[in-house]
Amino acid sequence: MRLSNRLPVRITRTAAIRGTVSALALLAAMSVMGCPRSTGRHGATDDARSLPASAAPSSSTAPAPPGPPGVVPAVRSFTAQGGPGWRPGAGARVVADPGGPLADAGRRLADDLELKADAGPARRGDIELALRPGQSGGPEGYELTTHDGKVLITGADEAGVFYGTRTVVQAVRSGGGLPEGTVRDSPDRPQRGLNLDIARKFFTAAWIKDRLRQMADLKLNQLGLHFSDDQGFRIASDSHPEIVSPEHLTKAEVRGIVDLASSLHITVVPEIDSPGHLGAVLAAHPDLQLRDAGGTVARGAVDIADPDSAAVVDDLIREYADLFPGPWFHLGADEYRALMSRDPQASYPRLAEAARQKYGPGAKVQDLATGWLNGRAALVRSLGKTPKAWNDGFFRDGVVTPDKDIEVEYWTGKELGARPPAEYLDEGRPLVNLNDEYLYYVLGEPNQFRYPTGERIHGQWSPAVVRGTTPVAAGQSGPDRILGGRFAIWCDKPDAQTPDQVANGIRLPLAATAQRLWNPAKPQQPWQDFAALVGRVLR
């Protein structure tokens, strides 16, 4: 909450002298009448700026709004207590060890509320941040207690305390302060985020950083960055500079994005989609292009029978694994053109022959593609990361089986992705929900896509609704099976919207997604009230 919109007051020298004389006269009169001169807790004013530096400031005397604080996502538990609550008063501070792990969260909260960050000890009117190892709620859980004019935020880990500070900021934006009582809050799903396609439409580092700040306020913790596709390759490369598009992020800009994300407890997940969606790479390496039996080029697809194709992609994975220090690397694996034909063996006999030579007489083109995926997954694993891939890169009834530790990012039930979510879950595969029925914001609305609405996500979607509109079985929908989800921006028609239009268009849908990932239960708050609250708390 910014408090810098007060109008300046111009005081002339004559007015100041008159004011001083009047004040002295009033003080003398008060002394004669026996009125106290104290401006302490029960005095005529609680403007702490008039107190000695050692005295305790107080928060605003106006009581905070009753009930749970108005925040998005809504807090999971609130226990009310009698009392006025807390508002940011003059002289209030954010107290955290300036050399400790919560120093950055403390400074950020102080900046958001225009308060002073201080080492403490905490006093009346302050917000104090503290770690409590072993506290319930997991690493992203927190406890926020408002009592006797002070606020205490604790958590087992830095992320939880940080999310507690976001609750404070939103509560001040929505209602001016915090009610008296205790919030106990933690997310239901470990992966909660936004997926951004910068390959087909370039977004600046500044625009991406604005989204990160918005994500942090919504307690989202994962940004998927799709930066390679047929239309562009958008991050500078040292290993293959020939593939980089004119409009791209420098590595310094990417490091700035990653550093900001880390400070906001957001992990950036890079995606180099292969063996399809590699048109920008193939523009510089046409010799790696896949062709069918008649010599026709398969758009965006590399020839996975050619070892040079793997060499180029592996160079890029190794290069960007260092640039993105998070625990995941997304391998794509969707919409490989050879497997989108009616008869892959007949249309692409060279791939079929390579599959048989490598995996035996019963192998098919899908097995060669699965071997490609497993090979890239093995590389990612050797670099200390967990592989992810789109669900239509996992095939049934093959000679080769996709590695079990590859996280399935389920987006479609169409075409190659016709396998229902239950099949992946029955195989014991971890799954992340990017249901294209609700969570796909596709620029230009091609292929029967429609811009998703926050109201529909708020009222109908949950992590269990992985495909279409029907949830998976209750026994398969827990956070240990469906790890979470991401709202996705895809730029199929990049000129259909400006970056500002995209930012405005995703505002409510992203907030609704954050709500359902934090707490999958159908929200008790009506949509109109939720939308109005988003307007007050989200900057």
The residues that are catalytic are 335
- Whole-number Å distance between alpha carbons of 27 and 31: 6
Q: How many CA atoms lie within 13 A of 309 on its CB side?
A: 24
Supply 267's token pair. 């992990």
- Whole-number Å distance between alpha carbons of 452 and 441: 6
Say how many C-beta atoms besides its own lie within 10 A of residue 285's C-beta: 16
Supply 422's token pair. 């239950």
* Three-class HEC string of 3-56: CCCCCCCCCCHHHHHHHHHHHHHHHHHHHHHCCCCCCCCCCCCCCHHHCCCCCC
Q: Which of 278, 415, 294 is nearest to 349 (CA)?
A: 294
- Whole-number Å distance between alpha carbons of 277 and 292: 17
- Whole-number Å distance between alpha carbons of 124 and 71: 24
- Whole-number Å distance between alpha carbons of 281 and 451: 30
Supply 444's token pair. 């230009």
Residues 6 or more apart from 519 whose CB is under 8 A from it? 73, 74, 76, 188
Burial of 205 (0-12, 13-18, 19+ CB in 10 A): middle
Backbone angles phi, psi at 288, to 5 degrees: -95, 0
- Whole-number Å distance between alpha carbons of 288 and 36: 88
**Secondary element (H or E) of residue 373:** helix 365-382
Cα angle 386, 186, 102; round to 5 = 80
- Whole-number Å distance between alpha carbons of 70 and 74: 7
| Burial readout 95-113 (b: 16 or more C-beta within 10 A, e: otherwise) | bbeeeeebeebbebbbebb
Supply 1's token pair. 């909450």
* Three-class HEC string of 158-174: HHHHHHHHHHHHHHHHH
- Whole-number Å distance between alpha carbons of 108 and 114: 10
Four-CA torsion 7, 11, 12, 14, nearest 10 degrees: 150
Angle at which helix 349-359 crosses helix 365-382, to 10 degrees, equals 60
- Whole-number Å distance between alpha carbons of 433 and 436: 9
